[in-house]
A and B are shown apart, each in its own frame.
Chain A
Amino acid sequence: MHDMRFTLPGQDLNREPFALKSPDFKKKCEVMITDRGYKCRITNTVPISSQEKLFLLRIVDPVERQLFNFRPGQFLMLEVPGYGEIPLSISSDNSNHEFVEICIRKAGHVTSAMFEARQGAIVSIRGPFGTSFPMEAMEGCNVLLVAGGLGIAPVRAPLFWISNHRDKFKNVYLLYGAKEPSHLLFSYQFEEWQKVSDIRLMTIVEKPDESWKGRTGLITALFNEFSFDSKKTFAIVCGPPVMFKFVCNYLDGKGIPMNRMFVSLERRMHCGMGKCCRCMVGSTFTCLDGPVFDYWSVMNLKEAI
């Protein structure tokens, strides 16, 4: 006979209220169904270079669409069911709640699957995660956006923000460097940024081809072409790790305070929630305390750049 007195009672978490509703990743410190993503449809893909594509995603469920709003600099976890999950910086306008734009370079397993995906395919996103650029703090100051290569993707979000609130910022510079002229992404938007948003855009390439008429060299060469009031300037730097060191050192020498320079770091991430420890840099996690760090913290973190 079964003796109920000594049977351990169990608790079924599947019946708890949190397990039934969509997760809201902006609410931290609350038990939620952390591994359910928002279903979204690939509404459009725009090839922007031989290796990169811009994807427009639209969250299918209207309630979830309202839950997903982000700040410039944050990232999301994109999941292609069956292939895997990757962290990606969001490069869209955060006032646009209808679509999420992400710029993907074909580099690995999941990104290759994304490149194969047809229009209308359904993927899943979780997020937004991580810290953001302090855009309000930059108001009334000059902003220096420095992007190298694919670094333009995370820079595009603060650029949209600045365009939307252009009167609150003083001079805005966008310095953009790439290896080859064909690697300059979003070149179709250059004119719009310059003329509509009044952003001073400067591009430079390392290895020019015959048709290239612009500047040639490393991105630091662009700093000699203009002057700015370093006491009233914020800088946002995104690009390959080797670029941070040179650009930030240079800007430091120019007199921009270290806590006004922001960099966006990249690391391998598996969860996005500070659990898997794959993205640890120094003694913090890129997913929780980053990906946006000010240069002062980056200097203090071991092995950050």
Chain B
Amino acid sequence: MAKRIDVSGLTAYYGSHKAIEDISMTVEPRSVTAFIGPSGCGKSTFLRTLNRMHEVTPGGRVEGKVLLDDEDLYGTGVDPVSVRREVGMVFQRPNPFPTMSIFDNVAAGLRLNGNYRKSELSDIVEKSLRGANLWNEVKDRLNKPGSGLSGGQQQRLCIARAIAVEPKVLLMDEPCSALDPISTLAIEDLIGELKERFTIVIVTHNMQQAARVSDRTAFFNLAAVGQPGRLIEIDDTERIFSNPSVQATEDYISGRFG
């Protein structure tokens, strides 16, 4: 079941440096929300606060609230590990576990979460690989190492690994920036299918990609280098790309800066 994300007054730090300041937004379930903005504006940092990965960085800390439906991810007593089991993540560079086979890569999260019978496990692995549009390419070599696949296949393997544990939300941090155009297209098609089941948030540097895949688009910017990044506006993607309400958004989208 996809869940709604409700962020209010979120500020994130690296040590004493304030990376993003006072961000509030709502992400609807079963939709794709794209984060765009110039480099260093904190969109990746913000994404990483949504599954508490930001705290993994030494000195990383967060103020504010992130509600997943009604549960505060930063509430007292909330275990970051259990947050990450609900909020999956796909990274910029494909990172399948190099020492595991394709099958084991997809099963990795399941094996963490509990005991599955062998038949159950292979059913879920097949379903996840089909869900990631990778099944037909790898079904004959499930026992081969995942690192032997092409970059695009590896990224879809990582998506299969993330969706195998049925997260409520799927975060994607520039998932196509290391891929060629054909593989990028495959991932974008996949995002369109996955949004039927998951809430998806995607960071992208590619504005055409944001326009193609997302329902809502959030534009981030920073006043100057060293200043914290802020959310400038979030709106329906169509509106952001045709008639944004803030001048800075229009400047960025039309290529006048950034």
Are these two chains actual partners, yes or no? no
